[in-house]
Structure 1
Amino acid sequence: MADYSKLAKDIVEHVGGEENVNSLTHCITRLRFKLKDESKADTETLKNMQGVIKVMQAAGQYQVVIGSDVEDVYDQILLQTSIGDKNSSESVEAAHSTSGDKKGSVVEKITDLISGIFMPFMGAFTGAGLLKGFLVLFTTLSLLDKTSTTYTILYAASDGIFYFLPVFLAYCAAQKFGAKPFISMAIACAMCYPSMTGLFNDKEAVVTFFSIPVKLISYPSSVLPILITVYAQSKLEKGLMKVIPKIIQSIIIPLVDFVIVFPLALIAIGPVTDVVSRGLAGGIQAVFSFSPAIAGLVLGTLWPLFIVFGLHWGFLPIIMNNYSVLGYDYIMPPTFGANFGIAAACLAVFLKTRDKDLKLVSGSASISALIGGVTEPGIYGVLMKNKRIFICMCVVNGLSGIIAAVTGSIRTAQVPINVLTMPALYAMSGPAIIISMVVSFVGVFLVTYLFAYKNEEQTK
C-alpha cells in the first residue's frame, strides 16, 4: 500500500508550505493548488518525486498530476493541514488574487471556472450516467421491461441528478462566485418546482409577474440559466452587504434574493440564456452538418492535446447544453477513440520496452485508460516522453473521429468511456461507435509497436 501520508506531506512542503497555499481542489488525476507565489514551489523536486507523474502550471493553477490515487493524497493533505478550512472560507476575490490568476489568460480562467463548478459532483454524475447507459442496453435487449417498477426505481436513480442538475450547479457556482450557496440551491429548486414545470407544460397558460410577461422555459436539466442567475445573485449580495447592517444581513439578504433574483431569472435570464443555448447547439450542429469528416478529424486528433492543457473541461457546458436542448450529444463521440488510442500506445510500449520502470508505468497507465477511462497517467507518464508516439496516436485518433462523426454517432447519457461501457455505448449509438474505438485501439497499437516506439531509444 502506498504511503499517502508521506507523499502528501512532501507535496505540501515542496509547493512552498501550507502558508503558500490559498486553496486546493482535485479532479480525477490532479491536485489543483492555487498558490500565493508559484516561484516558491520546487517544481523539479516534485517532478522527480515517487508518486508524482507530472507537474503543470495552467489555468491559473499549480497542478500536481498523481493519477488514480489523487483522492487518497488529497484526503491526507486535508488531514495534515488546515488547507481544507481555506477551501471552505475562500472568497472569489481571494481566489483570483493569486499571481497565477493575474497572469492567466481568459481561456485559462474560463477553464478553471468550468472545472471548479462541474468537478465536485462528477463522480455521482458519471455513476448515474453509467447506470442510465446500462438501462438503455437492458431495455434494448428486452432484459428489463420499461413498464416494471424495477425500471422506474433504477431510472429515478440514474436520472435524478440530470433532472435536478441546476441544484448541483447552483451550489458549486456559488462557491466559485462567492454567493450564499444554500440560497442558490433554493433558487434552483424553485426553478424545478413542480408548479413551475406545470406552467411550462401548459401551453395555454399566460404567466405574468406583477403584470410583467414571463416566458417560461424548461429549467430541469438546464445549465446556463442557473449559472448566470448565481452570478447575478453574488453581485447583488456583495452590494447589499455594503449597505445593510451586519446584524440583520442574515434575514434581509435571503429575502431580497428570493424576491429579486428568482423573478429576474424567470423574466430575463432564463429566456435570454435559452436563446443562447439553442443558438449554440444549432451553430455547432451546422458545423457538423457542413463537414462531419472535418469536425471529427479535428476533435479526434486534438483531444489528447486538450487533455494535456486541461482545455477539455471547456466542452462540458456545451455537452450538457446539448443534452438539455437536443436530448443527446454528438460532439464527444469523435473523441471516444482517444481513450482507446492512449491505452493501446501504452500497451505497445509495455510489451516492447526492456526498461523495468517504464514497463511498470506503461502497464498501469494502459489499464487505467482501458478499464477506468482515466488517460492522464498514460499521456504524462508515457506518451509525452516520446513525441513520435504521441503524434502517431493523434493521427490515428483523427481517423477514428472521422468514422464516429460521419456515421452520426451520439451519446444520450454521460457515460464514462472505457471497455466496460462499450455495450452501453453500442446501445446508444450502434455499431459505428464501437468500430471507431476498435480502429483507434488496433491502429495505434500496431503503429506504436511496429514503427513509432524504438526500444534502442529507451536503452540509450
Structure 2
Amino acid sequence: MATATKHEAIADAVLDAIGGAGNVKSVTHCATRLRFQLVDRDKADKAKVEATRGVITVMESGGQFQVVIGNTVSDVYQAVIRHDGIAAGESTSSGGLMARLIDLVTSIFTPFLWVLAGTGLIKAALAVATAIAPSFGDTSTYAIFYAASDATFQFLPLFLAVTAAKKFKANQWAAIAIVGALLYSETIAVIANAEGVDVTLKAFADGGGELTFFGIPVLMPAYLSAVIPAIFAVYVQSKVEHLLDRVMPESIKNFINPMIVIGTVVPFTFLVIGPLSAWLGDGLAWVVDNLWALSPAVGGALLGAGWQVFVIFGLHWALLPLFMVGLTTVGYSLLTGPLFAAVAAQGAAAFAVFLKTKNKDLKGVAGPASLSGIIAGITEPAIYGVTLRLKKPFIYGVIGGAVGGAIAAIGGSAAEGFVLPSALTVVSTINIGNFTLQLIGTGLAMAIAFSLTFFLGFKDLPATEPEAEAPDAIEAGDVVIASPVSGTVIPLAEVNDKVFSSGALGNGAGVLPTSGTITAPIDGELVSVMPHAYGIRTASGVEVLVHVGIDTVKLDGKHFAPKVAQGEQVAAGQVLAEVDLAAVTAAGYDTTTLVIVTKAPETHSVAVRAEGAVAGTGDLLTVAR
C-alpha cells in the first residue's frame, strides 16, 4: 500500500479539520504559515487543527484562517494544493486596509522569500571573508560569488513581475516584458550622449541629456532593485488587460492585447509611475531616517520589543515594504538592526525552558524550537510551542529584545541585503554601523531572556507521567494486535523513517524480523495488498497497516511473495507473504517491519505490550479504551 508522506499526512489532516477541500476558497503561505480563505468558517474545527501532529497553532487575522506549521510549511503547502479544486497562490482578503496590505505583501514576496534569504546569506559570508582577508575582495572569485548573491536583488523587479501578475491576475509574460523595459533603461546602451558614445537611458538622463517621450520630459529614477514601480506597473497592466479583454474581438486579441498593453504601460510607467514611486520611496526613507534620528535607542527598543508581538499576529509583513525601500535606496534599512536581538531573545528563552522544564513533551518541543529561532531565525515554533504558551518566558524574551534592540540601534547597525535575522546572518551587519554593538546587543538580549526565564522561572506544565506498563489482563472491548513476524521490538520513535517515527500515520511499533514469514496480526478484511504492505480492517473499524521494510516500495515486489489478495478475509496468524530478508538486506534496505494502527476509535489509545524479543503471533499492541 502506498503510504502518504509526512507532509501529505499533515495536509490531509488539516484539510479534513477545516471542512475539506471544498471549504477552501484560496490558500497561500508565508515563511511559516498556511493562510486559508475559507468558504464557511463555521465548518472549521480550530481545536482539531491545533491537535494535528505537525501543526504548531492556529491564528485568525484579517479574514484568514492561519495554520502555523514552521520551517516545512512550503512542503505542506504543496501537499495541500495537490487536492482538486484548491488553487495555488491565489488569495483575496476581505478585511480592512491592514489585512489587505498584509495579504498583498505575503502573496507577492513569499514565493521567492527563501531564494532572497539564501542569496543574502552568500553576501553575508562574503562580508566576513573580506573582513578577514581584504585582498579577497579584489579577486575574480569574489566577483563571481558577489554576482551570485547580488543578481537576485538587482533584478528583483522581474521576480515581482511574476508574483504580482499572479496576484493581480495579469499576463505574466507581459508583466515580465514591462518590468524588463524598466531594467533595460539601466543596463543596455541605446542612445548617444553629447560625446557620441552610446549609453543607457539612465546614464543619458543623469549626464544632462534631455530625455523626452513625444516632447514630454521623462524623469529617470533607478529601476534596478526597485520594488514599488514594478508592483504598480503590473497593477496598471492588469486593469488595462481586463478592459481590453471585454472590448477586443477574439480573433485578434491574442496579439493585439499584448501590443497595446506593453506599448501603453511602459511609457506610462516611465512618465508617471516611476517618478511617483521614487518620490514615495524617498519620502518613506526620509520619514524612517528622521524618526530614527530623533532617538535610535527608543526606536530600537520599541522594535526589539514589538517584533515578536508583530509575528504573532502576522503584522511583521506590513513592515517589509519599509525594509525594501531602504534596501533599494541605500542597500540597508536601519529598521533591521534591532531584529536580531528580538529573534535571538525568544530562542534563548525557549532554550532556558528546555533546560528547566520537567515536562518531557515540552522539553521535546523547546529544544528544537530554540535552535530554529537562534540559528535559522524562525521563531514561531518557540513562540507558540513554548514561550507564549508559558507566558512569562515570552515576556522575558520581549524584555531582552528591547534592551538588545536599543543597543544595536544606538550603533546604527543594519543588515546589508535581505536576510532573516538569526545567529547565522548577524554577519550581514558587519559593514553597516557598529558591528561590536550589534554583537553586544544580541548577546545581552539572549543573556537577559535566558537568565530571567531560568532563574525567575515560570509555571511549568505538569511533569510527564511515565508511560504505564501494558496491563497483563485484556479488558473487554480491547483489540489485541499480534506481531506479524518473530524478531526484536523497536519503539516507533526509533524507527529509521521520519514518516513512521513521527507518528504521522498512527501509533504502533517496529519489529526487526528474524523470520521472513509475515502473518496477519489480527482478524479482518484486507483493504489493501502490495508486496511490501498490507492494510487490514477489523469488524470493529480498527485499521492496521503491516509495512515490511523501509522504502521497500522501491523494490517493486522483488524478493516478496504475497500469499493473499485484496478483499480477502484473513485470520490472525494467517500467512500474508514470504520475504527473502537476506536479499532485501543485500539490496541495501532496512527490513524493520512496522505495525501501525492507522485508524481507531477516538475514545481508545494504542499501547505497546511487548519489548525485546517477540514471537510471531505474540501480542504486540492493544487498542484499549
Whole-angstrom distance in 1 between the partners of 2:436 and 2:419: 17
Go from structure 1 to structure 2 and tell me whether the alpha carbon gap of 1:133 and 1:10 turns closer, same or farther (over 3 Å shift): same
Match of residue 152, structure 1, among 133, 143, 148: 143
Q: Give per-residue Cα distances to partners, 1:34-77, cap 9 Å, x unaligned.
A: 21122211111111122111011123321111122222322222
Which residue of the partner structure matches residue 518 of structure 2? none
Go from structure 1 to structure 2 and tell me whether the alpha carbon gap of 1:234 and 1:192 turns closer, same or farther (over 3 Å shift): same
The answer to whether the 8 A contact 1:340-1:369 is kept is: yes
The answer to whether the 8 A contact 1:137-1:427 is kept is: no
Match of residue 195, structure 1, among 188, 213, 217: 188
Show the 5 A alignment for 1:79-228.
79=82, 81-83=83-85, 86-87=87-88, 95-96=91-92, 101-102=93-94, 104-142=95-133, 145-193=136-184, 194-195=187-188, 198-202=200-204, 203-228=207-232
Which residue of the partner structure matches residue 508 of structure 2? none
1:32 is paired with a residue whose SS is strand
Which residue of the partner structure matches residue 310 of structure 1? 314
1:150 is paired with a residue whose SS is helix
Whole-angstrom distance in 1 between the partners of 2:182 and 2:132: 36
Q: Which moved more, 1:358-367 or 1:382-391?
A: 382-391
2:138 is paired with a residue whose SS is coil
Structure with the higher helix share, 1 or 2: 1
Which residue of the partner structure matches residue 384 of structure 1? 388
User: How many residue pairs end up in the alignment?
Assistant: 448
The answer to whether the 8 A contact 1:29-1:70 is kept is: yes
Moved over 3 A (4+): 422-429, 454-460
With the length of structure 2 as denominator, give the TM-score of the two structures: 0.69
With the length of structure 1 as denominator, give the TM-score of the two structures: 0.93
Whole-angstrom distance in 1 between the partners of 2:461 and 2:377: 30
Deviation at 1:195, TM superposition (A): 3.3
The answer to whether the 8 A contact 1:26-1:70 is kept is: yes
| Identity value in percent | 38
Deviation at 1:390, TM superposition (A): 1.6
Which residue of the partner structure matches residue 27 of structure 1? 30
Which residue of the partner structure matches residue 405 of structure 1? 409
Give the residue type in structure 2 aligned to 1:443. I
Q: Does 1:432 align with 2:423?
A: no
Which residue of the partner structure matches residue 52 of structure 1? 55
Whole-angstrom distance in 2 between the partners of 1:313 and 1:6: 29
Q: Does 1:65 align with 2:68?
A: yes
Go from structure 1 to structure 2 and tell me whether the alpha carbon gap of 1:288 and 1:446 turns closer, same or farther (over 3 Å shift): same
Go from structure 1 to structure 2 and tell me whether the alpha carbon gap of 1:285 and 1:314 turns closer, same or farther (over 3 Å shift): same
Whole-angstrom distance in 1 between the partners of 2:211 and 2:151: 27
Whole-angstrom distance in 2 between the partners of 1:145 and 1:110: 42
Q: Give per-residue Cα distances to partners, 1:231-287, cap 9 Å, x unaligned.
A: 111111111111112332221111111111000000011001111110110111000
Q: Which moved more, 1:63-72 or 1:196-205?
A: 196-205
Give the residue type in structure 2 aligned to 1:327. G
Which residue of the partner structure matches residue 16 of structure 1? 19
Q: Which moved more, 1:418-427 or 1:232-241?
A: 418-427
Whole-angstrom distance in 1 between the partners of 2:135 and 2:15: 50
1:217 is paired with a residue whose SS is coil
Which residue of the partner structure matches residue 235 of structure 1? 239
Whole-angstrom distance in 2 between the partners of 1:43 and 1:441: 33
Which residue of the partner structure matches residue 341 of structure 1? 345
Whole-angstrom distance in 1 between the partners of 2:168 and 2:127: 37
Q: Which moved more, 1:290-299 or 1:23-32?
A: 23-32
Deviation at 1:364, TM superposition (A): 1.2
Which residue of the partner structure matches residue 595 of structure 2? none
Go from structure 1 to structure 2 and tell me whether the alpha carbon gap of 1:45 and 1:285 turns closer, same or farther (over 3 Å shift): same
Give the residue type in structure 2 aligned to 1:304. Q
Structure with the higher strand share, 1 or 2: 2
Q: Which moved more, 1:278-287 or 1:35-44?
A: 35-44
Deviation at 1:458, TM superposition (A): 6.8
Q: Give per-residue Cα distances to partners, 1:317-363, cap 9 Å, x unaligned.
A: 11111011122211111121111111111101110111111001111
Which residue of the partner structure matches residue 451 of structure 2? 446
Match of residue 279, structure 2, among 275, 279, 289: 275
The answer to whether the 8 A contact 1:54-1:66 is kept is: yes
Higher-Rg structure is 2
Which residue of the partner structure matches residue 192 of structure 2? none
The answer to whether the 8 A contact 2:165-2:238 is kept is: yes
Whole-angstrom distance in 2 between the partners of 1:418 and 1:410: 13
Give the residue type in structure 2 aligned to 1:51. G
Give the residue type in structure 2 aligned to 1:35. L
Q: Does 1:374 align with 2:367?
A: no
Deviation at 1:295, TM superposition (A): 0.8
Go from structure 1 to structure 2 and tell me whether the alpha carbon gap of 1:445 and 1:168 turns closer, same or farther (over 3 Å shift): same
Go from structure 1 to structure 2 and tell me whether the alpha carbon gap of 1:83 and 1:417 turns closer, same or farther (over 3 Å shift): farther
1:331 is paired with a residue whose SS is helix
Q: Does 1:395 align with 2:399?
A: yes
Deviation at 1:446, TM superposition (A): 0.1
Q: Which moved more, 1:192-201 or 1:388-397?
A: 192-201
1:299 is paired with a residue whose SS is helix
Give the residue type in structure 1 aligned to 2:152. I
Q: Specify every segment of 5 or more residues in structure 2 that has no aligned partner in the other structure, as ranges.
A: 190-198, 466-625
Match of residue 418, structure 1, among 408, 413, 422: 422
The answer to whether the 8 A contact 2:415-2:426 is kept is: no
Whole-angstrom distance in 2 between the partners of 1:205 and 1:191: 18
The answer to whether the 8 A contact 2:349-2:396 is kept is: no
Which residue of the partner structure matches residue 289 of structure 1? 293
Which residue of the partner structure matches residue 611 of structure 2? none
Q: Tell me: higher relative CO, structure 1 or 2? Use CA pairs within 8 A at least 6 residues apart.
A: 1
Give the residue type in structure 2 aligned to 1:408. G
Match of residue 40, structure 2, among 37, 51, 62: 37
Give the residue type in structure 1 aligned to 2:161. A
Deviation at 1:422, TM superposition (A): 3.4
Give the residue type in structure 1 aligned to 2:168. F
